[in-house]
Amino acid sequence: MKPHALKELFDKGYGFKVFQGHNNNPNSLKVQTILESIELDEEVKDKLDALKKNHYVICLGENWCPDCTINETIMHKVGECQPSIQIKHLPREGYESLVSSFDPDGKARIPLILLMDDAFNLMGTFNEVPKIVHKAMESGDQTQVIVAKRKYRNGEFLKETCLEFIEIFERSE
């Protein structure tokens, strides 16, 4: 996508509180639990502090989606800790073709998180689950997949997810 199209999309978005309150969020307790459990260690804090440029994020997802609840909440926490990161949320509904265009299988998997530099150039994307879970899924080893997904759902990959976001932001620094 071209920067002007990403900027227009960003301008249509809304904040985290609106996203979480949309459709009487069935996952509101899970969001609060995740927010309370995210403790950024010194490595993550130092990497966030080192980001000097403005960054923009568009999170496309739905608050009823467990993966959106986990990953959009982590992104919110990252944004709270680094004010140069501005985040907007949009629903998948109405943007299915956009979401599916970023999926290798052409499916509208969420969340789709678009990470941009200060000129709205797309620096990278995050789709559905962190790389560590994607890697387990690609292994074909069902036991590895089950273990990775269980750890992910239990919040054991919060740091890895934060670092994945930061790694994308660092490309524009």
Question: Does pLDDT of 29 surpass 80?
Answer: no
Q: Are 114 and 57 in contact (CB under 8 A)?
A: yes
Q: Contacts by 166-170 with C-beta closer than 8 Å and gap 24+?
A: 166/44, 166/47, 166/48, 166/51, 166/78, 167/124, 168/115, 168/123, 168/124, 168/126, 169/51, 169/55, 169/85, 169/115, 169/123, 170/47, 170/50, 170/51
CATH 3.90.1150.10 is held by the domain 3-129+161-170: no
pLDDT digits (tens, 9 = 90+) for 95-152: 999 999 999 889 999 999 999 999 999 999 999 999 999 999 999 999 999 999 999 9
pLDDT (average), residues 146-171: 94
Question: What's the sign of the alpha-carbon dihedral 155, 157, 163, 169?
Answer: negative
Average pLDDT, the chain: 92
What residues have CB less than 8 Å from 34, skipping those under 6 apart? 69, 70, 73, 74, 155, 158
Q: Where are the domains of the chain?
A: 3-129+161-170
Say how far apart CA 138 and CA 133 lie, in whole Å. 9
Residue 170 has a pLDDT of 95
